[in-house]
Amino acid sequence: MFDLLADSPEDRLRLCGPHVKRREFLQIGALAAVGLSLPQYLRARAEGRVDPAADRKSCIMIFNLGGPSHIDLWDMKPDAPREIRGPFRPIRTKSDAFEISELLPLHAKIADRFSLVRSCHHDGAAVHDAGWQMMQTGRRFTGGISTPHAGAVVSHLKGRRSDLPPFVVLPQLMGRGGGNLPNGQAGGFLGKAHDPFALMADPSQKNFKVPDLLPPDQIGAQRLDRRRKMRDVVEQAVSEFEASEDARLMDDNFHAAFRIMTSESARAAFDLSREPLKVRERYGMNRFGQCCLLARRLVEGGVRFVTINTFLTVFDEITWDIHGSKPFTSVQGMKDLVCPMYDQAYSALIEDLTDRGMLNDTMVANLSEFGRTPKVNPAGGRDHWPQCFTAYFAGGGVKGGRVVGASDPIGGFPAERPVKPGDIVATMFHGLGLNHASHLPGPGGRPFPLTDLGTEPIRELFA
């Protein structure tokens, strides 16, 4: 393995020499994923040749939990029969390449900054959590292997670049999806050290405070002293049991939590009160809107990957899950509640990133677990449909105003350029400067490919 990574006999010897720290030795797989062997990395670092621009890359994944109707929003079929095309009409956008729904007028004004992929599909079960797994990890969980979320992979490969964690989920992890399956928002076989930091709070509430980020003077001297003593115990355990993965994991987790908790810059990044009221109102004074604003602040503060869940579960709240009758969302509910909130926050995020000069370094990926049935059901809604749906991308090198792929005349199946979940994940990795064809240390220490054989980034988005 090491011979494959080293460039010369001298480099191979240096891998076992006294100049290589244990943590750098363990990062060999990560360095290979960004196109560097460990010796190459050491030389580049010593000579100041590590590209700071590549290190600035971040990704915000907006996960549209519930499965929006592609036919009613991004891939309308105005010439199809009424039971297919639905009640809404398309409108012109700032892109000559596509029209979108009248329900998204603010999207239409910035359509030159994002591009649509209208030919997404997967072969998973038509249940929410199966799609959550596949679209966030690029794979279905099979053989007892829990594949890590794309953000966990980034955490493992690139690590933190500030006192903030590398991977954050807002406002909290997904809840139940009906299939009793893991939702894919975890470190998987990479371990809990790469689980996301989940906010577990609603940033739109007046009494919003970030859990576990209280400054030391509010924690109390005794409690802080106990934490420091715990750290000392962990460090002693690591030194005594260097070969123990459990000891290393405890050390990593403790230092990550302690670093966030005691860092003024980390607390400041989460503090929305530092934003002008006009900016907060532009995003919308609701949970999703404030999460989008918080995502921008976190990326600005050094977080590499932020996932925003538009909703927390498909039960007991208005979501994209428009089956048409209670307890699910009606088409009218999508029109009056969901779309205005979503349209406002997304357009504010893209404009804010643009104004701050951050969009080129920040990919914004809008994903969902599936689309909706081409035919309107008897309740006036649409049901689950993984056979065809739309995702879209902005920033991170993506050229806006484009359409990749196409669906058939009723939006039922891809007609051109089919795109799989693995291609979506590979596209995010590409935007972050990672090599999607490289490997992770998988279960049992065996090499595990970042994406399945045959998956590719959607290169048309970048060309």
- pTM score, whole prediction: 0.84
Alpha carbon 14 to its chain's center: 37
pLDDT by position in tens, the chain (length 463): 322 223 333 333 333 333 444 344 334 444 544 444 434 444 554 555 556 777 899 999 999 999 999 999 999 999 999 999 999 999 999 999 999 999 999 999 999 999 999 999 999 999 999 999 999 999 999 888 999 999 999 999 999 999 999 999 999 999 988 888 999 999 999 999 999 999 999 999 998 987 665 444 444 555 556 656 665 665 565 555 445 554 455 455 556 666 666 788 898 999 999 999 999 999 999 999 999 999 999 999 999 999 999 999 999 889 999 999 988 999 999 999 999 999 999 999 999 999 999 999 999 999 999 999 999 999 999 999 999 999 999 999 999 999 999 999 999 999 999 999 999 999 999 999 999 999 999 998 899 999 998 999 999 999 8
**C-beta separation of 395 from 352 below 8 A:** no
Class of domain 53-208+266-461: alpha beta
Domain layout of the chain by residue ranges: 1-50, 53-208+266-461, 216-261
∠ CA(201), CA(203), CA(206), 5° rounding? 105
Tokens read off for 236: 């002693």
